[in-house]
Amino acid sequence: MGWSSANSIFNPVARALSEAGAPDDTKRKVLGDLIGGLQDGDWDTEDESLEDFLHDPAIVKAFADKDVHLADRRCCRAEHAGSPRAYLMTMRADGIDEDEMTGAIDAFAHHLAETIRQNAGLFARTDSERATVTAAANYIDPKVP
């Protein structure tokens, strides 16, 4: 298979699965198998298709399963966008700008604060103690004014 001809096979299938609302595990399995088959046929422009589907974490994971990544690792950040801790860990790569790092830290802090607020009863028994736990969570949450 030459140059980017595999893109014309992969992209319509991936687009159809997304538009049909296929479950993430189905997309990951079907597209992972397709990626593997196309790689066996010497697909050398997988990164171009990956870039077209950075908005879909399941498709990004299908590529990651087959060791396909973008040079700037945007794919890894996209893959972990739903998990604030994993997203923050991907920020350890070179070339991350300050705004993106700030966004990742803020997302993790908000997630942590939400978790603390939701579980305040585990940390405190009295109303006063719960108020203190909630105040601490609010203090670390960048979304609370």
HSE-CB at 123 with a 13 A cutoff on CA atoms is 16
Please check whether residues 102 and 72 belong to one and the same domain: no
Please check whether residues 73 and 90 belong to one and the same domain: no
Please check whether residues 59 and 90 belong to one and the same domain: no
Q: What is the pLDDT of residue 10?
A: 95
- State how many domains the chain has: 2
Please check whether residues 52 and 86 belong to one and the same domain: no
Q: What is the pLDDT of residue 91?
A: 63
Is 30 inside any structural domain? Answer: yes
Is 102 inside any structural domain? Answer: yes
Measured N-to-C along each axis, helices 7-19 and 24-40 cross at an angle, to the nearest 10 degrees, of 170
Please check whether residues 130 and 142 belong to one and the same domain: yes
Please check whether residues 29 and 92 belong to one and the same domain: no
Please check whether residues 67 and 117 belong to one and the same domain: no
Residue 50 CB coordination number (10 Å) = 24
Q: How far apart are CA 63 and CA 49, in angstroms?
A: 9
Q: Provide the residue-wise pLDDT of the chain in tens; the chain has 145 residues.
A: 555 689 999 999 999 999 999 999 999 999 999 999 999 988 988 989 998 998 888 998 899 889 888 877 666 666 666 677 766 666 666 566 777 777 778 888 898 999 999 888 787 889 898 889 889 999 999 898 8
Long-range contacts of 81-90 (CB under 8 A, 24+ apart): 81/57, 82/57, 84/108, 84/110, 84/111, 84/112, 85/111
Provide the domain limits for residue 100. 82-145
pTM: 0.57
User: How is residue 140 written in tokens?
Assistant: 């670390």
Q: What is the pLDDT of residue 137?
A: 92
Is 1 inside any structural domain? Answer: no
Please check whether residues 26 and 45 belong to one and the same domain: yes
